[in-house]
Amino acid sequence: MREEVVKVLVREFEPERDREAVEILEKSCEVGPSGKMALFTDLLGDPLCRVRHSPCFFMLVAETCGPLSLIVGVVRGCIKTVTCGKKANRSPSGEKQYTPIYTKLAYLLGLRVSPAYRRMGIGLTLVQNMEQWFRSKGAEYSYIATDTENEASVRLFTRRSGYTKFRTPSILVHPVFRHPLPLHHRRIKLLRLSPSAAELLYRRRLSTTEFFPRDIGSILRNKLSLGTFLALPSDHPWTDLHGFLAAPPDSWAVLSVWNCKALFRLEVRGAGRWRRWLSFVTRVVDGALPCLGIPSVPDVFRPFGMYLMYGIEGEGKGAEEMVRVLCRYVHNLGREGGCKVVVAEVGEEEPLRKGIPYWRGMSCAEDLWCVKRLGEDYSDGAVGDWTKAAPGKSIFVDPREF
């Protein structure tokens, strides 16, 4: 089908002038592919909320030309420095070590086009203009995340904008029940790490992981960070993180929590009456008889918030169970904080994936990340062309961009 073309003016978002129009546009657009049920996002009156916590960000709107100009499209972008590979070297003792190779990476997100103005070239125009800004800031690569079933989005980026399918992580979603989950951690103890201790641990353990942000400290110190939690054997003689790193136990696990609820709300629309009735019944039973531990379905048919678990790492035979305990702990935090779901996004081969509880029907088995090299004049460096690099076992999901 041939696309109709409409003339638009692409310009920088102006908060006072454009806030209301962008909010209306956002509320008219579903997230992901259309179907019987669709997910809608409410940015709580701040169109920049999904990028403003990044070190460098920008937002563009597309406005129709003419006397009755309308904002019919929007896109956001941010830039950071991340790990794209690792370099082997030898320590003074002769032990093989790895150091991260960094690149300046741009992330393109929040692309929305009004339903009445789709298939008119507006999305492509917004993407091209945002890429110009990325290049002006020296970004070497750009990437996007979309749903593998969103054919229109995949076609726009891979066929028309030069992006390559790169990674397919999974978004694992677990509902928050009305009853707290028992932790069952008589042999496991949980500690909360300070931001400085968490930063040191992540730099030691995850700095060579793909997409690891060089400014991890600013993430951990952000007001939206709800903490970093470490699981250890209950008999481990904890003193401080330096002692832990010098002599770690046989098994341990760690993760951090980000408060997405303070940024945006989600809402499922289009569900049939029987789905709503069934979820309501489970909540009633769970509320009346919490001792039974009924896995109730939260009310996701009205605006709801979530917590994101990121920086999931661990070691040893018991790490999987420790991650499971940590996830239960975050579930209970979400229950106290009024969230309806807790979420994690992990790589295809993530070793600790089995320890993360989730509901298949609420999760996304394959989130699609596509990447594009923005300029051939950049030096290949030690990693070569990152778009051609084989995937590692893990990826680091930046909570600022979820």
Residues in CB range of 227: below 8 A, 6 or more apart:
192, 193, 256, 257
Query: Torsion over CA of 271, 295, 147 and 79, rounded to 10 degrees?
Result: 120
Provide the CATH number for the domain formed by 172-362 in this structure: 3.40.630
From-to residues of CATH 3.40.630.30 in the chain: 8-169+366-401
To which H or E segment does residue 242 belong? helix 241-246
pLDDT of residue 376: 63
The first and second tokens of residue 182, run together, are 């028992």
pLDDT of residue 31: 67
Which amino acid is it at 381? G
CB atoms within 10 A of CB 75: 24
Strand partners, 369: 145, 167
Superfamily of domain 8-169+366-401: Gcn5-related N-acetyltransferase (GNAT) (3.40.630.30)
Q: Give the ranges where 137-208 is alpha helix by DSSP (H).
A: 151-155, 195-206
pLDDT of residue 94: 65
pLDDT of residue 254: 98
In which residue ranges of the chain is pLDDT below 70?
1-5, 31-37, 91, 93-94, 376-383
Contact indicator for 374, 135 with CB cutoff of 8 Å = yes
DSSP 327-344: HHHHHHHHHHTT-SEEEE
CA distance 307 to 54: 18
Which pLDDT tens digit goes with each residue over 107-138? 999 999 999 999 999 999 999 999 999 999 99
Q: Nearest-CA neighbor of 54 among 31, 82, 27? A: 82
